[in-house]
Amino acid sequence: MTNKKFAVTGMTCAACQASVEKTVCALPGVESVSVSLMTNSMTLDYDETVLTEESLFKAVSDAGYGAKNWVKREVTQAEEDAKYRAMIRRLISSAVFAVLMMYVTMGHMVGLPLPSFMNPHGHAWEPIVYAAVQVILAVPVILINRAYFTDGLKSALHRSPNMNTLVATGAAASMIYGIYIFVMMILGYTSGEEIHHYSEDLYFESVTMILTLITLGRTLETRARRHTSDAVRKLMNLSPKTAEIYRDGTVVTVKSDELVIGDRVIIRAGGSVPCDGVVVSGGGAADESVITGESVPVQKSEGDTLICGTILTSGYAEISAVHVGEDTTVAKITQLVEDAASSKAPVQKLADRISGIFVPVVCSIALVTFVLWMIFGGSLHQAVGFGISVLVISCPCALGLATPTAIMCGVGRGASLGILVKSADAIDVLHKSSVVVLDKTGTITEGRMRVSDAIPVGSADEAGLLTAAASLEGMSEHPIGMAIVDYASENGVTPASVEDFTQTFGGGVCGRMNGSEICGGNLAFLDESGVTVSDDVRAALVRLASEGKTPVLFAADGDVIGIIALRDNLKQSSIEAVRRFNELGMETVMLTGDNRTTAEAIAKEAGIAHVIAQVKPEEKASVVEHLMAGEQDGVFTDLKRRYVIMIGDGVNDAPALAMADCGMAVAHGTDIAIESAGVVLVRSDLTDAARAVKLSSAVMRNIAQNLAWAFGYNILCIPVAAGVLFPVFGIALTPMIASAAMSLSSVCVVSNALRLRRWNPDR
């Protein structure tokens, strides 16, 4: 199966989105399809041997829309900007004629003067001139907004009516009825009839105001929707357009897109980094807040990495390009945010199904309304008015925008906080989760062992212990051995040469130094090696382990010479993160391969409720699966399904991250494209995991509000527009008021979603 993204053109509302999705889903070879109105894109899983791109494009075209290969975001953004400017021009032009129309039709009601030859209540030809002027003002508005009619008719002919079909039908019905009345006035005048009473039944102002107000609503909606993608826009603009590099011994300026791996790039103070690279000369302070959220600049020197999009606030650096173009960190982050914004939450499926049948249902309701008022109301004017009101007040757009706008704003806000949410599904799962499983090393702790105690035993002194330990461990590449060597070096100890070195995985190391047999490792390894370990030493090992330390025994010629204890310190953020999880009512579980005593000490310090220790990496996924099913001994045994978050470093925890309902990967530096996780924490700060849970709750709450508004608006307004309140209360909505209400409904939904851009995770 191939996963590919395409651009879709011609979509204007949720009904269009549903139509494209239904058309493509029915094609042979298609496994799944997701169409996004927000990004005008379509993500497709399909078999290339069964379905060709030409066949796909033709099917979408036959449905009344357009499809093409996805282009760079900058190109798409430029097209959207051009469409927005064109819409503003349409709005201004329509508004000019609408204002003139309002003056002509309503000015006399508030005392504004009209020429005597346009008197609507005149007894000669003045009412005809009054009507003719309205025709003259209405026609330009129809021509300016002809896209509603052409698109609405095209969609109807393709049997996929959309929002434009409703608008075009309502406006056309108003215009046709107005022309009918205009003709009746002319016929009445020629027959000597008093025609001034016809002037109250003209619907030309409705045509003008329906189209103008709909265009106003679309313009406001488009403007608001542009703000929902501000996060993507800002990410796109992080990378500078040009870069200074050495070429053939001289400094030249090239486009950032033209950089190749290995180029020597010059970064000056205040300059933005155009690629990911390693500092080969110079250095300085780099502001990485745009990527990591950390406001304090990070000092960079030779050998350090500079990330694309960050700013060198001081100094001068030359870097060797490592990742360029679409492979840079900022490009990957941008792609993650775009993909997440294009994805669909499960809650959107209901809205999509309703949107797919919304327009035909509304057209049916409008027709029934017209017929019933003709039968029981007896007035053609009333029947037309109520039927048109039903058409123009209905709003599938609000339904279609309720979920994706909130998702896009939430994902964008998360990205600005260093929380990369990779799909809408992750947001849906996060807010339902009740259990958080945390890997220990590198997640709760710093992931770096440090010596905490060096305890000589018997006649040995600390210098002798460190010399033996550093000499032996210097032959090993194990993290514990490296930490011991570093500690010995810091204390001025020079290692001696070691012969006959051997290493036992998971046990320890042995060798010969200055004629003595020395070995180091855990208690079981030394017992197997024939070393005599006293009860006092064993008691010391238990005490050190209870303090969350990892003790290593060292012996020479069969006698223990000392203990070196190491500790992987808790991250400063871990205790606060666990406290926040507890406040959210979540069960916290530590999952580690360490021994139980050490793990429980770390868990107690961090405030974690449950510990599952001595678990091999390949067993972690099984443990997570049991936690999800509520059948993990020592934690849950009630067999109750729970939603589980797994937080790890994305390397040896990959199976567990993939197994969990939502995996969170703690990123390190530029390592942000971790496939097995649904959320990536760029700052490696565990408190961001708790913020991600709170963000998901805020997004889902916003979606619920939007859907409640969208459903409630249509359920309440359509009956009112149909005139159900008129017989008893005399309340009726004119087509003009109905069009204004429809326009505002979509704006309200998008505006509510925009509140997420200012969401404060610590409030």
Which pLDDT does position 73 carry in this prediction?
58
What's the rounded mean pLDDT across residues 409-428? Answer: 87
Which pLDDT does position 583 carry in this prediction?
92
Which pLDDT does position 567 carry in this prediction?
86
pLDDT in tens, 468-527: 999 888 888 777 888 899 899 888 888 888 888 888 876 788 999 888 899 998 888 888
Q: Over the range 40-79, which residues count as b (16 or more CB within 10 Å of their CB) and which as e?
A: bbbbbebeeeebeeeebeebbeebbbebeebeebeebeee
217 band by pLDDT with thresholds 50, 70 and 90: confident
Read off the DSSP letter of residue 254.
E
Phi, psi of 602 (to 5 degrees): -65, -45
**CB within 8 Å of 95: residues ≥ 6 apart:** 212, 216
Report whether 184 contacts 108 (CB < 8 A): no
What's the rounded mean pLDDT across residues 576-595? Answer: 90
Which pLDDT does position 372 carry in this prediction?
93
Enter the tokens of residue 580.
Answer: 């926040």
Quote the pTM value. 0.77
Catalytic-role residue among 439, 568, 649, 661: 439
Of 348, 271, 349, 344, nearest to 310 (Cα)?
Answer: 271
Q: 10 Å Cβ neighbour count for 518?
A: 22
Phi, psi of 362 (to 5 degrees): -65, -40
**CB within 8 Å of 747: residues ≥ 6 apart:** 217, 220, 221, 224
Phi, psi of 123 (to 5 degrees): -110, 10
User: Distance between CA 7 and CA 589 in Å, rounded?
Assistant: 43
Q: Please provide the DSSP assignment of 34-59 as one string.
A: EEETTTTEEEEEE-TTT--HHHHHHH
User: Distance between CA 175 and CA 182 in Å, rounded?
Assistant: 10
∠ Cα 264 335 295 (to 5°):
65
Residue of higher predicted confidence among 439 and 159 = 439
User: Distance between CA 729 and CA 697 in Å, rounded?
Assistant: 42
3-state DSSP of 604-645: HHHCCCEEECCCCHHHHHHHHHHHHHCCCCCCCCCCCCCCEE
Q: Over the range 373-406, which residues count as b (16 or more CB within 10 Å of their CB) and which as e?
A: beeebeeeebbbbbbbbbbbbbbbbbbbbbbbbb
**CB within 8 Å of 382: residues ≥ 6 apart:** 373, 723
Of 232, 645, 234, 583, nearest to 407 (Cα)?
Answer: 232
Q: What share of the chain is helix, strand, coil (3-state, %, to 5)?
A: 55, 20, 25
Phi, psi of 139 (to 5 degrees): -60, -45
668 band by pLDDT with thresholds 50, 70 and 90: low
Enter the tokens of residue 304.
Answer: 């350090």
Share of residues in the chain with pLDDT > 90 (%): 23
Which pLDDT does position 588 carry in this prediction?
94
What's the rounded mean pLDDT across residues 322-333? Answer: 84
What's the rounded mean pLDDT across residues 201-213? Answer: 85
pLDDT in tens, 4-51: 888 888 887 777 888 888 889 889 989 988 888 777 888 888 988 889
Q: Is the dihedral of CA 454, 457, 463, 465 positive or negative?
A: negative
Give yes or no for residue 74 having a pLDDT over 70: no
What's the rounded mean pLDDT across residues 150-162? Answer: 83
User: Distance between CA 517 and CA 372 in Å, rounded?
Assistant: 104
672 band by pLDDT with thresholds 50, 70 and 90: low
293 band by pLDDT with thresholds 50, 70 and 90: low
3-state DSSP of 154-216: HHHHCCCCCHHHHHHHHHHHHHHHHHHHHHHHHHHHHCCCCCHHHHHCCCHHHHHHHHHHHHH
Enter the tokens of residue 235.
Answer: 């990410």
> Is 287 a residue of the active site?
no
User: Distance between CA 38 and CA 40 in Å, rounded?
Assistant: 6
Give yes or no for residue 96 having a pLDDT over 90: yes
Read off the DSSP letter of residue 347.
T
Of 264, 441, 225, 422, nearest to 337 (Cα)?
Answer: 422
Enter the tokens of residue 520.
Answer: 């180091």
Question: Residue type at 305?
Answer: T
Which pLDDT does position 140 carry in this prediction?
95
Enter the tokens of residue 597.
Answer: 């005593």
User: Distance between CA 500 and CA 513 in Å, rounded?
Assistant: 9
Residue of higher predicted confidence among 427 and 339 = 427
What is the chain's mean pLDDT, rounded?
A: 85
Which pLDDT does position 209 carry in this prediction?
87
* Strand-pair category, 298-300 with 276-287: antiparallel
Q: In whole angstroms, how far apart are CA 539 and each of 199, 526, 755? A: 104, 15, 59
In the chain, the domains with their CATH numbers are 2-61 (3.30.70.100), 240-327 (2.70.150.10), 407-444+572-694 (3.40.50.1000), 446-569 (3.40.1110.10)
Read off the DSSP letter of residue 459.
T
Which H/E stretch holds residue 264? Answer: strand 264-268
Placement of tokens 């509140």 in the chain: 755
Most confident range (mean pLDDT) of 192-201, 255-264, 292-301 is 255-264
Enter the tokens of residue 328.
Answer: 């840079």
